[in-house]
Amino acid sequence: MLGPVLDRLERRGVDRVKARDAIRRAVQATTGAVLAWTVLRLLPLEGYFVGILAAVLIVQPSADGTLHSAKARVMATVVGCAVGLACLLILPPGWGAITGLAVAMLILNVTATFRPDWTYGIVAAVALATAQGADLWAQALDRVLSIAVGAAIGIAVASLLWRDRARARFDRHMRAALEALADNACEATAKSTRAEPDTNLSAAPRFHQRLRLAREALDVMALDESDGLRARADAAAELMGAIEFLNRAAATPADLSGDPELGDALDRFRQAVAEDLRDPATIGGSDSDPTEGPVTQAQRDVSARVEAREVSDPRSATTLAFAMDEVDRALIALYRAWSPG
């Protein structure tokens, strides 16, 4: 059901990944807000506003991210409560909510500069600092309990509704990053047979976006789970660097298309790299020696022709062979990062 909506948005120039995350997060935040309001209405609490804010602001891009941020945000709420209560204790009666609001905002925003994850504490600090009336402490307790209820509802919604685990997000974004790597490798290799090719790689922005999102998913995983996956992301980044080098080497004024055997080796290299990257099961899913695969063999064939001086432009061909070797080495490193154990 969501696919056609995303397809239509993509045709209008909207980033598909951002659109999916935006829709999912909006659904979770809206559900959390409605549930928080409903539950708080059933309880003898009056802090609807701060409770709804707590439920909405705690939602993160993944369920793991929400749980991961919950610890920091609980601490932020404790700090916010401390600031708010300090305002109630220190400020003399009659100074009103405006002074309390100003003091709470000043302290929490200065703190958030050094600890951005403590910005969440502003909700509690403002809620308590602006309490006024005859029974200030009863209002303060009411708002603290409302915040706790709202935060609990937000965590529950993120964990149960349209749950998107960090590992699933990582795998999804890494598959897309590998697809972008394959496109970049094909485009870079093909430039060696063109006259005056450009130096841009059309899929490079897509790769960097997906790799950034994969790393964001890693940041909220447990350390024992993320270590091996981080090596995959690092290997993919290294391979992208090698492909960019290949792109610069291939995008030279020299046209190497006059050598049929060299052209055949380049075609085999391009196809083998693309096949490996477009099938994640191939990377690390085979027992064969990655140093003897078709990518390596194609690179060796190009190097052999360069060494035998059987190319029209030895200098350009030598640089190209060296760049192909860098891609081969980086692809082997990626293969090993993907291999179990």
Q: Using CA atoms, how far apart are residues 44 and 39, in angstroms rounded to an integer?
A: 10
**82 and 7 co-located in one domain:** yes
**154 and 171 co-located in one domain:** no
Residue 165 · residue 64 · CB < 8 Å: yes
**208 and 320 co-located in one domain:** yes
**116 and 232 co-located in one domain:** no
Q: Using CA atoms, how far apart are residues 201 and 198, in angstroms rounded to an integer?
A: 9
**148 and 180 co-located in one domain:** no
Q: Residue 168 burial by CB count (10 A; 0-12/13-18/19+): exposed, middle or buried?
A: middle
**201 and 72 co-located in one domain:** no
**74 and 216 co-located in one domain:** no
Host domain of residue 260: 166-338
Closest CA to 204 of 180, 237, 170, 179: 180
Structural domain ending residue among the three candidates 126, 160, 194: 160
Structural domain ending residue among the three candidates 143, 160, 177: 160
**How is residue 76 written in tokens?**
């932020």
CATH number of the domain residue 174 falls in: 1.20.58
Residue 167 · residue 225 · CB < 8 Å: yes
Closest CA to 269 of 336, 191, 178: 191
Closest CA to 269 of 192, 339, 202: 192
For every one of its 341 residues, what pLDDT tens digit does the chain have, with 9 covering 90 and above? 677 777 777 677 777 777 888 888 889 999 999 999 999 999 998 888 888 988 888 887 666 666 666 666 677 777 777 776 777 677 666 555 667 667 767 877 787 777 776 677 777 777 766 666 556 677 778 877 888 898 889 888 888 887 777 888 898 899 999 999 999 998 888 876 665 567 788 899 999 999 998 998 888 776 656 778 899 999 999 999 999 999 888 876 555 656 677 778 888 888 888 888 887 556 544 555 666 778 888 888 888 888 887 777 778 788 888 999 999 999 988 888 887 65
pTM listed for this prediction: 0.71
Helices (H) and strands (E) in the chain, counts: 13, 0
Closest CA to 50 of 66, 31, 63, 37: 37
- CA angle 195–201–207, rounded 5-degree value: 160
Q: Using CA atoms, how far apart are residues 76 and 29, in angstroms rounded to an integer?
A: 20
User: How many separate domains does the chain show?
Assistant: 2
Residue type, 289: D
Residue 99, SS3 per DSSP: helix
Q: Tell me, what's the pLDDT at 238?
A: 95
**232 and 327 co-located in one domain:** yes
How many CA atoms are closer than 13 Å to the CA of 338, on its beta-carbon side? Answer: 24
**8 and 97 co-located in one domain:** yes
- CA angle 27–119–68, rounded 5-degree value: 60
**125 and 220 co-located in one domain:** no
257-282 burial code (b ≥16 CB/10 A, e <16): eebeebeebbebbbbbbbebbbebee
**44 and 172 co-located in one domain:** no
| Beta carbons within 8 Å of 61's beta carbon, 6+ residues apart | 21, 25, 164, 169, 216
Structural domain ending residue among the three candidates 139, 160, 181: 160
**46 and 150 co-located in one domain:** yes
Neighbour tally for 90: CB within 10 Å = 10
